[in-house]
Amino acid sequence: MIRVVKIGGNVVDNPEALAAFVREFSMMPGPKILVHGGGKEATRLSGALGIKTTMIDGRRVTDEATIDVVTMVYAGLVNKRVVAKLQACGVNAVGLSGADGHVITATRRSPEPVDYGFVGDIATDGVNVGFVEMLLGNGLIPVFCAITYDGDGHLLNCNADSVASAVATAVSEIDDTELIYCFEKPGVLADAGDDHSVIPHITPELYQTLKQTGVVSGGMIPKIDNAFKSISNGVKRVVIKEASALNNETQGTVMSL
């Protein structure tokens, strides 16, 4: 079983949360891959440099100044900080952008209807699974940031959730794969105000009901849609849980067929 874990800004921006996560991740058995975000830090650096941050539908409009900012923050500051902390916990991590080892190629998004600038979408065959397999086979733990490239010298900004999904789908060719999205909440909640109302298991059938009854709504819908898309593309199961509960098998919401 290969586990692909995605962490977001709530973990990488908080030294204590990151330290706790790194300990959990280091104890997780078997081959594993980490994918991280870092959007808050990028927004902070843009602000300090007087570069305006524009988000449309949750995606950062990435002009020339902004692709430099996100490359610095995601591939530099956050990626190396995470790798150094993992190494200190005995995890032989290797930080990667999509350009490294030609590991993830993406296509720059069409400027119509919205021009996002240097934003890329990962192609179906965009992950160089041979390179990932070679690293895992040598006991190395890939740590991906959300910077990809077009194969022609240009870096592209991507979305860490999409990178995690693409990588998990690709490595599911090698072995059974579990994709874990670390979340601020202990899972998908039946009652948004009650952290004890985690729905332990969502099948495609239950998901339809949950949507119809409005239990699942808003930003949770694209997350679960993506989860089932990953599953229909080969991932065995997708789990949404808290970063601090990574090794707690009883926590979180499991999505599977």
Residues that bind a copy of itself (CB under 8 A): 45, 48-49, 68, 71-77, 79-81, 83-85, 87-88, 92-97, 99-102, 134, 138, 140, 147, 149, 151-155
How is residue 115 written in tokens? 């021009």
Across the strands, what pairs with 36?
7
Sign of the C-alpha dihedral computed for residues 223, 26, 15 and 47 taken in this order = negative
Residue closer to a copy of itself by CB (options 147, 167) is 147
Q: For the chain, first and last CA: distance in Å?
A: 17
How is residue 39 written in tokens? 């959007």
Min. distance of Cβ 203 from a copy of itself in angstroms?
A: 40
Residue closer to a copy of itself by CB (options 65, 221) is 65
CB 6 within 8 A of CB 21: no
The two beta strands, 55-56 and 201-202, are unpaired
Residue closer to a copy of itself by CB (options 45, 235) is 45
Min. distance of Cβ 28 from a copy of itself in angstroms?
A: 19
Min. distance of Cβ 150 from a copy of itself in angstroms?
A: 8
Q: In terms of Cα–Cα distance, which of 26, 49, 54 is closest to 39?
A: 54
Q: Where are the beta strands (DSSP E) in the chain?
A: 2-7, 32-36, 55-56, 59-60, 93-96, 104-108, 120-127, 141-144, 147-149, 155-157, 177-183, 201-202, 237-242, 253-255
How is residue 217 written in tokens? 């709504």
The enclosing H or E element of 207 equals helix 204-212
Min. distance of Cβ 158 from a copy of itself in angstroms?
A: 13
> What's the Rg (C-alpha) of the chain?
18
Q: In terms of Cα–Cα distance, which of 117, 255, 229 is closest to 164?
A: 229
Residue closer to a copy of itself by CB (options 145, 224) is 145
Residue closer to a copy of itself by CB (options 68, 211) is 68
How is residue 214 written in tokens? 């409005």
Residue closer to a copy of itself by CB (options 76, 234) is 76
Residue closer to a copy of itself by CB (options 49, 55) is 49
